[in-house]
């Protein structure tokens, strides 16, 4: 099996308003809507932010297709990490667009410039720019190797063991 892509389909209350926000703030391009009639309000849409696809679907529609989504809160429970090439310029753009910044730009100890913001549905968008290639590669060797904290508990499945790691390893 090969995973060919991973595209979030975010539950929202108002697809049209959400798409307008992403168009205004990120210059997103609408690539598809349902219904396809431009005079009808969409209940689903897909946009591209540069080359990254994101889908938005109204609550009623998504709950109807995926019963496990019924009654789930919108936003707040997921953060989307967005790798960018100029975090400072993007931060300035988002501030000027009136976007709520939830964590200001800061340098991590592993060579990234990061900040976070909220979209109009409460989803966290966490932006990062690699500022020091050597330090960023080191974090991959030290902290992003998930298998180093797994042991065999006799069940045939890996089990977690306590590993000392910095609590702010992701910045």
Taking residues 82-111, report their average pLDDT: 95
Give tens-digit pLDDT for 89-101.
999 999 999 999 9
- With a cut of 80, say whether residue 150 has pLDDT above it: no
- Which residue(s) pair with 103 in the sheet? 116
Residue 3: predicted pLDDT: 86
Surface-to-core class of residue 138, CB atoms within 10 Å of its CB (0-12 exposed, 13-18 middle, 19+ buried)? middle
Rounded CA separation 73/79 (Å): 14
Rounded CA separation 117/101 (Å): 4
Residues of the chain with CATH 3.30.720.110: 77-171
- With a cut of 70, say whether residue 160 has pLDDT above it: no
- With a cut of 80, say whether residue 161 has pLDDT above it: no
Give tens-digit pLDDT for 3-37.
888 999 999 999 999 999 999 999 999 999 999 98
- Its CATH class, for the domain covering 1-66, is alpha beta
Residue 129: predicted pLDDT: 95
DSSP for residue 91: H
Domain covering 77-171, topology:
3.30.720
Give tens-digit pLDDT for 41-64.
999 999 999 999 999 999 999 999
Residues of the chain with CATH 3.10.180.10: 1-66
Rounded CA separation 62/170 (Å): 31
Residue 167: predicted pLDDT: 47
């Amino acid at each position: 099996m090969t995973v060919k892509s991973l595209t979030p389909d975010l539950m929202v209350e108002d697809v049209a308003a959400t798409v307008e926000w992403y168009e205004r703030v990120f210059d997103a391009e609408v690539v598809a809507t349902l219904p396809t009639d431009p005079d009808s309000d969409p209940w689903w849409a897909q946009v591209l932010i540069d080359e990254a696809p994101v889908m938005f679907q109204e609550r009623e529609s998504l709950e109807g297709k995926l019963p496990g989504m019924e009654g789930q809160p919108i936003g707040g429970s997921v953060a989307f990490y967005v790798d960018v090439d100029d975090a400072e310029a993007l931060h300035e753009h988002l501030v000027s667009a009136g976007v709520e910044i939830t964590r200001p730009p800061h340098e991590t100890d592993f060579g990234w410039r990061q900040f976070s913001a909220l979209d109009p549905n409460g989803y966290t968008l966490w932006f990062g720019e690699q500022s020091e290639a050597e330090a960023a590669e080191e974090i991959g060797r030290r902290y992003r190797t998930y298998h180093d904290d797994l042991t065999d508990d006799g069940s045939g499945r890996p089990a977690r063991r306590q590993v000392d790691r910095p609590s702010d390893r992701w910045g």
